[in-house]
Amino acid sequence: IFRGTLSKRGVRVITGLGKYFRQADKSRSGFLSQAAFKEALKLFHLEVPEGDFESLWLILDDSKSDKVDYGEFTRAVFGEMNEYRKAFVRKAYMKLDFNKTGSVPMVDVRKCYRAK
């Protein structure tokens, strides 16, 4: 369903889906219900025939919890990061974790990053 080279629109859709998933996940659990997931696909014009959706859902909901881990879904679509990107993320994280605690509180992120 989502295979092939991503076009600019494809990248925008996947990025938008990720943002939408995070907003739809009011409990911040990292999971979405089947109805919320189906609505997200429809909203982004990724309409999947019902039979195909059921097959997709069976693959995504491997724990049979009636929820999908949207982080896993995103990784399945994008794939794992290549080594260059992993090294870049590690380097950025090390810069953010200047106290070497293994976690980065938002206050420290705000010191280093301006979203504007």
Q: How far is the C-alpha of 27 from the C-alpha of 30, rounded, in Å?
A: 8
| C-alpha count within 13 angstroms, C-beta hemisphere, residue 47 | 2
Residue span of the structural domain in which 88 resides: 83-112
Amino acid, res. 29: S
Task: Please state the pTM of the whole predicted model.
Answer: 0.55
Q: Of the ranges 2-6, 12-16, 77-81, 103-107, which is most confident?
A: 103-107
pLDDT digits (tens, 9 = 90+) for 75-103: 776 677 788 888 988 898 888 887 788 88
Give the number of domains in the chain. Answer: 2
CB-based contacts of 60, cutoff 8 Å, min separation 6: 37, 68, 69, 72, 73, 76
Helix (H) or strand (E) holding 109: helix 106-112
Same domain, 45 and 98: no
Same domain, 3 and 53: yes
Same domain, 60 and 90: no
pLDDT digits (tens, 9 = 90+) for 57-69: 888 887 788 888 8
Same domain, 70 and 30: yes
- Write out the two tokens for 6: 């991503």
Same domain, 107 and 55: no
Same domain, 72 and 16: yes
